[in-house]
Structure 1
Amino acid sequence: MSRFLSPRLDTVTPYTPGEQPQDQQYIKLNTNESPYPPSPAVLEAVSRAEVEKLRLYSDPACAELLNAAAKHFGLQPDQIMSGNGSDENLFFALRAFCDEEHPLAYADITYGCYGVWCGLMHIPSRIIPLREDFTLDPTDYYGLNTTIVLANPNAPTGLALPRSAIEGILKANPDHVVIVDEAYVDFGGESCVPLIDRYENLLVVQTFSKSRQLAGARLGLAMGNAKLIADLNRVKFSLNPYNINRLTLKAGQAALEDTAYFDSTRAVIVETRSWTRQQLEARGFTVLDSRSNFLFVRTARQDGGTLYRKLKENGVLVRHFDTPRIHSWLRITIGTPAQMQALLAALDKILED
């Protein structure tokens, strides 16, 4: 750090992203990207004519994308806001609904950015431990009287609550916003979007990075009561009104509209997830009941850190979190069947040695 850094940032620990090697020498199963390319409709939408328009600013209202999203989700355009990835929407939500006197409640094992953003914006954290088996007890969140964020399905565990459990939390906190981070919902979770018209305190955040193959495009949606979305837009237009570039707007709209490709690719990932889980359990691994595009696993035969390093030496990247409670676990993204077979072959070699 330089001597010019604000003292208020001294204690902020930035989020550490998963490794992103650019030489493609690894089988990359560490950052929950899709192993499949974007929809052919996306490739058509990002045309030469659109590239030539990059000299012009993008539409700050994101009107065409929001109209497509409204049609897809059964909402009104004023109930949706697009962000530069779901991360930006989550950050805007914390900026809008939390401050130094209004804490954020979240689980002790969940997406790491929640705590990072609290540190950055000096928002007090109210950390709620998961149960011993990593499940979340909804009653722990009843009557908290503070803003709440829930990753559902959760990361890195992959476990999910039913919609009815989230509804109970909404009812128990009617005067505070409940943010549901649904980054992985398309792989087996139960979305809370159908509850939006019933609960004015519900904000649902989704991403195009996982099930719509647009991680590199950086696009997400926040959906909720029109007044909540107006609050988020107040933050957006105070910071970065042109937050979505022209090509991403076109790509996102095309990805939303190609429902057949969306359904087919996520179905393949779910099927591959089930097969991989069976294979790992046959090898003695403990595997949580994931509803995401990854598995959370451990084995008594090797500690998590050692297994992560040995897999990397064998050309396979997975994610290891060197933190209390989960240091013995690995998070493994679901790739193609061939990639998962390569993972299993590497594991067999390592564990035999």
Structure 2
Amino acid sequence: MANVSKSLNAGVHNATGIEFQKHCVLFLLLDNYEKLKERKYFICLEHHDDFLFCFQNGNGELTSIDAYQAKKSSGKWGVSDELCDILRKLVEVGVALKEDSIQKNECYSHALHFVTNDAITLRAGSKPKVVTTTINESNNWVEFVKLDKKIRDCLEEKVKKKLKSNITALNEVGNIKFCFIDFGKTRQGHIERLIGKFILTFSNKVKDPNAAILTLLELFREIETAFNQGYKAKLLDKKKRVESDVINEALNIITSQQMAFETWRNHRKDFAKSLGLNLIQQREFELHFNNSFDLFKDYHQAEHIKILSFVRNNSQLLESCTDEVMLVEEMFKKFKSENNSQLDEVELKAAVFAACIELINPHE
């Protein structure tokens, strides 16, 4: 039986630790984006473990979980008391995940990761028969079961001593994986690494990757400060989740805004002439179309929802329009002829423009 521990909420008070955890979450999200973007999942922070990636099937059943203990380090790791404490926590998490009452698929499985920003050197045996495995930038992902038997036996024995009466948790050691992330030692170093990873993932689709990274990190703010009620972690607790739909929507908004900005910048004079925008109105127009992407997903913004739906329902105009300027002009005329709007003229034009950019550039 997994023990209830007040340490479940300890990380909520530890801003530095959570910051590193969030950076690791985002790095792994970007690093695996091509695989993740078509999958249904949710991410938990400070819930059973430092963070979890929980994968679901179409029925909402859990198919697998990747659990992570993320520790920032200023020095290299060895077969130390601290490392074995981390491994003990991981195997106890494995038991807790099995016991969690959330519905699981019959083929459910989980992996238990220790992730850090410095090299891990695992060494066992005595001279001249010492065996060593190092997890670092050139060998950044190692499974426990693939370690040399001497190292496995050494770690297993040390973890067994720490488990005391909870010896059944030792069955989880086979699910452990060691992971190295090439982060620097400072927050700025982490952000720079994340920006680089974001650029590699999305190429030139986003003008300001630094702002994009900060936007994505903000998604975790609410769940990082939510307590596990009664010091009991439950995967059914949606207050501790960020769903894949929310992540995808945030990425869609980021890339759509960039596309809109680039389209406006490249054809500003043509759009201004076509939509009858004077120089003062052009500045207002730019502000409104940037805001429109957020308003499109706010169910309280009936006018913007109506405009987005109208544009999507009139996608046949893509067949008769030869460029973006013509499409926005024709879509705006059609909307005006068929609808009334509470938005002022410039805001309405900006919302139609933003909706048309989404229509032209559907998200992958």
Judging by fraction of residues, say which structure has more helix: 2
**Radius of gyration: which is bigger?**
2
Which one scores higher on RCO, CA 8 angstroms, separation ≥ 6? 1
- State the TM-score bracket (shorter-chain normalisation): under 0.3
TM-score, length of structure 1 as denominator length: 0.25
TM-score, length of structure 2 as denominator length: 0.24
